[in-house]
Amino acid sequence: MKNSHSEAYAAAGVDITAGYQGVELMKKHVARTMIPGVVSGIGGFGGLFAPDVAGMKEPVLVSGTDGVGTKIRIAQLLNRHDTIGIDCVAMCVNDIICCGARPLFFLDYIAIGKNEPQKVADMVSGVAEGCVQAGCALIGGETAEHPGVMAPEDYDLAGFTVGIVDRGNIIDGSKVAEGDVLIGLASTGVHSNGFSLVRKVFDIEKADLTAPMTELEGKSLGEVLLAPTKIYVKSVLALIDGGVDLHGASHVTGGGFYENVPRMLPEGCAASIDGKALPQLPIFRLIQEKGKISDHDMYNTFNMGVGMVLALPANEAEKALELLAKAGETAAVIGKVVAGGFGVEVL
């Protein structure tokens, strides 16, 4: 890389040497994510991974992709970039665990107005932490400098993951039936969706993000909004490995309960949910009061304190809750599956 420098390209706003510096800074973070199966390190043209399919009758690869969305603006305003990478990983791995897939690896993509190596390394440190939490490897990525298209301080972060599950163990919602209980896994806050509404409600460009707020139990608005999305992979795998017969799983993201829970319900089944079964987080009360938002719109936009909903036989609920508690989750029965239409009723 010693001779790799273009004066002409630099004059156009792209510093390729900054990219090399960023790679060097992020290597220590990437190293934390190495797991059996990784064949190549970062820096090549492709990330190589050899999955262990021993014991699987018919392995199926499962992929998921997502980004952090406009939550990134909160990180930019606070000049803190080391947590949104967790969000990026979470939004992908929480999706594929819903069908029982164990994440294998992750790749990220950063588009940035001006490449600042330390800022990029901070973002990747969060991605690496998310991969550690999910038990997968960070095997590659890309950073693209976009001068003239993005402002120097602007950036976007997205990524994708690939996981694996034996075809016979895929969780697809087909076994969900009347009488199944619904267990909710607590969220850490707003997670990574609904931030266009959040930014509007708080007029975020003018808001004081660092002052402690009594409505948020002494925490600042910025601290609460930037709290990373909870990664549920290891907890759900604990249920699967513990023999719990999971019938369905739903990652509660954009569209809230009304859009996401029906995705795991077969025709003829609906979900009846007690909206107060888990402790209500202060941030959602504050958003609703300040924005004068209806209950329906809140549950149709936010996770409302429940980041994952699981459907399983009623006689396995106690076992599931015990396993989830051992995995460090705050979880509770929040409703049941009922016969009838196709949808969700929040009581």
Q: Three-state DSSP class for 120?
A: helix
The residue length of the chain stands at 347
> pLDDT by residue (tens digit) across 43-62?
677 889 999 999 999 999 99
What residues contact 241, with CB distance under 8 A and at least 6 apart? none
Element (H, E) at 322: helix 317-326
What gap in Å lies between CA 152 and CA 8, rounded to an integer? 19
Q: Whole-model pTM above 0.85?
A: yes
What residues contact 281, with CB distance under 8 A and at least 6 apart? 187, 189, 304, 305
Distance of CA 152 to CAs 119, 231, 250, Å? 12, 31, 38
What gap in Å lies between CA 158 and CA 324, rounded to an integer? 29
What gap in Å lies between CA 158 and CA 92, rounded to an integer? 9
What gap in Å lies between CA 105 and CA 92, rounded to an integer? 11
Mean pLDDT per 10-residue run, the chain (347 residues)?
60 62 75 88 80 94 96 96 97 97 97 92 96 96 92 95 97 95 97 96 96 96 97 97 96 94 93 87 96 96 96 97 96 94 83
**What's the confidence (pLDDT) of residue 54?**
93
**What's the confidence (pLDDT) of residue 189?**
96
